[in-house]
Structure formats: structure tokens, C-alpha cells
Structure 1
Amino acid sequence: MTRNTRTPAAVAAAAVLTLTLAACGSESMAGMDHAKSAPAAPSGHDMAGMSHGPDGMGGASTGASAGGAAPGLAAEQGGYRLDGRLSGTEYRFTVTGPDGARLTAYRPDATKQMHFYAIRADLSGFQHLHPTMAADGTWTAPLAALEPGDWRMYASFVPGAGAGAGTGLVLSRTATVPGTAAAVPLPPAAASTTVDGYTVTVAGAPKAGTAGELSVTVSKDGQPVTDLQPYLETYAHLTAFHAGDRAFAHLHPETKATGAGGGPTLPFHAELPAPGDWRLFLQFQTGGTLHTAALTLNVAA
């Protein structure tokens, strides 16, 4: 997915959002958030520990990417292919390039060569990792414990070789963790919430398929927070998943971090391709601790 660096006009209307904030000391968290129950995965999905075959998309259309799948749901795009295996809490995967060989050359994107995401069908259990690559091109993502159910694993990267060198891609596969899966319902809508001493308020009303702006304001004890620390070149990282099919979107920050003193308001370029509920995950850092806020945003048509 090529990063869009345009700065859209600010959107005046405020959206009512659901916001659940949990502090954590690492980038991987399982089961920390709540979300609307998504439709059951289609048959043919792979069991944990087995190689993944090609899979399609389910749920509402969100604007087809190459190959006809909604954004982030294709296993192959532009000649690049993702193959993976879940073994316990480790996900090992490779990317094959247009020449049929494993890709080993990557360009850094937000300081990392690979961004890896995992999320359950009901949009709970969000994890964002930066895996390591072996010399043969095999990546290993050490996940936190996974609750039973259908999961989708995403690899977000910029190839450093091949016909698509320099173009951002998001490929994904599914995996099933055996056991009884209990769906986690979506919390009631709220414009802001206070957790761990931080009050987070979100404003903006993007429309499906139209560029808009979301702004996040962080305060503590009634005072604006201005000591946000740099995280992945910015003061916050924002990822979104569409309810029902788990289509992927990355909401790009409009400013880069220039020192340990970000906040209190963080603007994001928002371009969500489909109407309906999107689950947003905002990650920001203070005092060396990474915090993750889970937001449910209803996007109008």
C-alpha cells in the first residue's frame, strides 16, 4: 500500500466513537479489546500449525485491491505472495517475489522492514509486532497467547527488489486456534474515555471512500499531554480493520516526531474505503510505556 502524504482539509463534524484504552509494556497484546462479533469464517480455513493455502475475503466489499480482494485480504498481489504457518504462538512466514524466489530485500517503512498484525474475527486480540527475518527470508513473529477462534495475520512491507520495489503492500492469511470461541461484543459508543490516568478524545467524521481527518487529543488530570514520545517516526500509530471482513487500513499521521514532546492533539489522514464499523487501534508511548487505545468508528456512506 503506497503511503499517501497528502494533507486533507480538516473535517468539522465530530464523530461519536467507542474508545477502550489499555496500557501495556510491549507491542503485543492479546484479548485486550472488545469488538462486534463478525461473521463466521468461510470453510476451508487452516487449522493452527498447518500451512495456509490461498483464501478469499468475506463480508462487505471495501474497495477491491489487486486480485479482487478488499484491502489487505489478498495473499498475493503484484507478483508477491505470502505463505505462513502458525505453530503455538509463533507465526513463521515468507514472502515470494515475482521471480519465484523468497524475498530477502526490504525497504524500511516507519523504521521497520516488516509490520505484522494479528486480529481475531470479532476484531479482538489485536497484536502489532515487528518480526525478525532469517537469512533465508523466513520471518518469525512471536505472538502473545491467542484466544480460540478465527484469526487473520497481516504482513505490511515495502519490497526492496522485484517489479514492485518501493511499493507498499499488505498481504494476509487466516489461521484457526482450536477451542470454543466466545464472541466479544462491541462496547457502547463514547466520544472519549479515561484509563490509566489518560483521557483520550477523538474527533472527525470521514466518509467512505473520501479523504478526511481524524484528530486525537490526549490529556491527563485535566491538563494537555505534551510529553508523547516518538514511536515509529511519529507520536502515534493508527491501524483500522473493517467489521465483518477485516479489510485493513493504515491511517497516516500528518506530522513526524521531532523530539520527546508530542501532543496533545495528533492529526491523521483518514481514507476508509467502505461504510460501516471500523475498529481503530491507536498506539502511543509515554515514559517508555506503549499504550493502545481501541476505537470503534462508524463510517457513513
Structure 2
Amino acid sequence: MTSSRLIARRRAIAAAGAVTALALTLAACGSSDDSSSMPGMDHGGKSSAPSSSSASPSMGDMPGMAMDHMASGNGLSDSQDAYRLTSKDTTLPSGKQAAYRFTVTGPDDKPVTDFALDQTKRMHFYAIRSDLTGFQHVHPTMAADGTWSAPLSSLAPGSWHMFASFTPNTGKGKGTDFVLSRTVTVPGDAVKAPLPAPATSTQVDGYTVTVKGDPMAGMAHPLTASIVEDGKPVTDLEPYLDTYAHLTAFHEGDAAFAHLHPTTEVTGDHGGPDLSFHAELPTSGNWRLFLQFQTGGKLHTAALTLRVG
């Protein structure tokens, strides 16, 4: 079976699962202005500025579901289908801002410079330490020669995974979503932080994010996160990356990557309190979830651990 047929079949299965599965709840993806105050976020986090760019060009058949942007694989390789993530940076300094520079090369071994929009951006970049702390989600800039520069906030000593999520707009891989990664070392005395226990709720910047559900490995699930402040439902969520919240998950142990796509349709300048996502977590175990949402022009990040059976 060709790769295109496999992708089409996955999308059909995922869409069916999203319709029939019970609504769960989940939260993830982002960075608040003071990430050090969040459990599991004490090794740096950088807010991504709101974007006024146009919406993602390709959406699925279900309202609000970005089914055409479901990346395959777990992101734990620097190459896939002859596309490769390359970088000369093997170390980054500790305790200060730094830029990670990288290039994506295609099947012709030349730098790729034409990328499609995905949630208003041509490149999403994630940095996370091996113990799943220090999460950062930024949007790098590309030079004319195809070299990307990702601005990172202060990094704590240890091993870090650098993930690049993108969709080529031309060539053999046109329209295919990729997540590739490399690791870098931040020199210094690395102290491993224990992963917080699985929980159904977490707090950030005065907001409480509640998660419900019991997802199973390898199965598509619609997930829902509810946000309240002082016990009252939050209804002033602002659009961020063409959605009301952005969600990312990483697997305990190997830091495998999963991007959980929003299914709540953006209908105006204010949303909430309930947010739905399409999730397909490939393996069982603990996943650390990061939910980004924006209010009053400020980006917040909620982090919690979800147990997947």
C-alpha cells in the first residue's frame, strides 16, 4: 500500500474514532510569561506572540478539525522519507537565552525553503528536557538560504530534545506533515526532576484546567479541556494560532512527540470554557501535556500528566 493511501486510511479511521468515542478532556501546549511558577516548567519557557496570519489552508471534513495536519511518527528521528533535520548545534549554553539553528533538507539534499502554513505558521519548534520539564514552543525565522533560527529562553543543564514540525509546500513531500528532532546538551550539573503524578486538573496563572477521560493507546479520541477562574467558566479565550488552545504531549521515558489537534471551531474573538481536541496517543504510559491558551493578550501554559492505558 502506498504512503498516500496509508495516510488517507489513517485519516478516515481517526475521523470515525472522533465521532464515536466519548468526549474526554485534555490540556496542553504553551508557555506563560512566568514559566518558573509551573510544576514541570521550571527550566525555561517562551511565549509565542499572537499571529494575525491567515488560517490554516487545509481542514478536515469535520467542523473545526484539522485532520489534514496530523503528523505521522513520534518525532524521535532526524530523518523521514528522505527529509532530514540538520544542525551544527550540539550544545547550547546554560542559564541564558540562546538560538538553535537548523536546516531541513529534502530528497535532493538541498535545503527546503517553501513550507505550507499549519495553524498560521510555517514552522513550529519545540524544546523539552529529557525529564519533560522546561517546555518551550516557539516559531523560528528562516533565512534566505533555508537556515532556521529558533529563539530559546534560559535552558537548564541536561539533555534536550529539539523538535521541528513542518509541511513542505513543494517537492516529493508536499502536503505531508513531518516532525523531526535532534538532541542537544546543555552543560552543567543536571538534576532530574520527577514526573508529577497523573492528575485530572492543574492550575496556572489563577486558572484551573480540568481534564477528564481515559484514552487508550493507538486509538483516536476526542478530548475536552475545561477552563475556569475563581470557580467561574472562562469565556474570554482569545484566538491563538487559529484556535482557542494549542496542545502538545510528550511520552515519559523517550520523550516521543504527539501534537493533539483542536476540534473546537473558532467563531469569534472570545471562546471557552470547554475546548475539544482530536488525540491519538500511540503508546501506553504517562504523557506530559502542555496546553497553551491566551487571555488579555497573555499566553498561559497548563501542564499535567495523563495516564494512557
TM-score by length of 2: 0.78
Taking the aligned partners of 2:202 and 2:154, their CA distance within structure 1 comes to 27
Q: Which amino acid aligns with 1:192?
A: S
The alpha carbon displacement at 1:161 in A equals 1.7
Moved over 6 A (4+): 19-23
Match of 2:40 among 26, 34, 39: 34
Query: For residues 153-211 of structure 1, what are the alpha-carbon distances to aligned partners after superposition, in whole Å with 9 as ceiling and x for unaligned?
Result: 00000001210111110000011111111011122443223442212111121100011
Q: Which amino acid aligns with 2:241?
A: L
Corresponding residue number in structure 1 for 2:60: none
Corresponding residue number in structure 2 for 1:73: 76
| 2:111 paired with 1:114 | no
| Cα distance change on mapping 1:157 and 1:31 into 2, 3 Å | farther
| Cα distance change on mapping 1:85 and 1:144 into 2, 3 Å | farther
The alpha carbon displacement at 1:9 in A equals 2.6
Taking the aligned partners of 2:78 and 2:110, their CA distance within structure 1 comes to 16
| 2:36 paired with 1:25 | no
Q: Which amino acid aligns with 2:85?
A: L
Taking the aligned partners of 2:171 and 2:125, their CA distance within structure 1 comes to 21
The alpha carbon displacement at 1:257 in A equals 1.7
Match of 2:229 among 210, 213, 220: 220
Match of 1:289 among 272, 292, 298: 298
Query: For residues 102-132 of structure 1, what are the alpha-carbon distances to aligned partners after superposition, in whole Å with 9 as ceiling and x for unaligned?
Result: 1001001100000000000100000000000
Cα RMSD after superposing both structures: 2.7
| Cα distance change on mapping 1:81 and 1:71 into 2, 3 Å | same
The alpha carbon displacement at 1:22 in A equals 9.5
Taking the aligned partners of 2:31 and 2:207, their CA distance within structure 1 comes to 10
Match of 1:98 among 107, 117, 128: 107
Query: For residues 246-290 of structure 1, what are the alpha-carbon distances to aligned partners after superposition, in whole Å with 9 as ceiling and x for unaligned?
Result: 111111111232221111000111110000011111000000000
Matches within 5 A, 1:163-242: 163-242=172-251
Question: In the alignment, is the contact (CA less than 8 A) between 2:237 and 2:294 conserved in 1?
Answer: yes
Matches within 5 A, 1:75-154: 75-86=78-89, 87-88=92-93, 89-154=98-163
Q: Which amino acid aligns with 2:82?
A: G
Corresponding residue number in structure 2 for 1:263: 272
Unaligned runs of 5+ in 1: 36-64
Query: For residues 5-58 of structure 1, what are the alpha-carbon distances to aligned partners after superposition, in whole Å with 9 as ceiling and x for unaligned?
Result: 72333426x78x9x89997239xx5795429xxxxxxxxxxxxxxxxxxxxxxx
Question: In the alignment, is the contact (CA less than 8 A) between 1:198 and 1:219 conserved in 2?
Answer: yes
The alpha carbon displacement at 1:78 in A equals 1.1
Taking the aligned partners of 2:80 and 2:199, their CA distance within structure 1 comes to 37
Question: In the alignment, is the contact (CA less than 8 A) between 2:30 and 2:246 conserved in 1?
Answer: no
Taking the aligned partners of 2:265 and 2:175, their CA distance within structure 1 comes to 20
Unaligned runs of 5+ in 2: 1-6, 42-70
**Equivalenced residues, count:** 263
| Cα distance change on mapping 1:176 and 1:31 into 2, 3 Å | farther
Identity %: 59
Q: Indicate the structure with greater helix content.
A: 2
Of 230-239 and 257-266, more deviation after overlay is shown by 257-266
| Cα distance change on mapping 1:186 and 1:157 into 2, 3 Å | same
Match of 1:8 among 12, 19, 29: 19
Taking the aligned partners of 1:79 and 1:158, their CA distance within structure 2 comes to 14
The secondary structure found in structure 2 opposite 1:217 is strand
Taking the aligned partners of 2:105 and 2:197, their CA distance within structure 1 comes to 42
| Cα distance change on mapping 1:108 and 1:258 into 2, 3 Å | same
Question: In the alignment, is the contact (CA less than 8 A) between 2:28 and 2:248 conserved in 1?
Answer: no
Question: In the alignment, is the contact (CA less than 8 A) between 2:32 and 2:299 conserved in 1?
Answer: yes
Taking the aligned partners of 1:30 and 1:283, their CA distance within structure 2 comes to 15
The secondary structure found in structure 2 opposite 1:8 is helix
Question: In the alignment, is the contact (CA less than 8 A) between 1:30 and 1:146 conserved in 2?
Answer: no
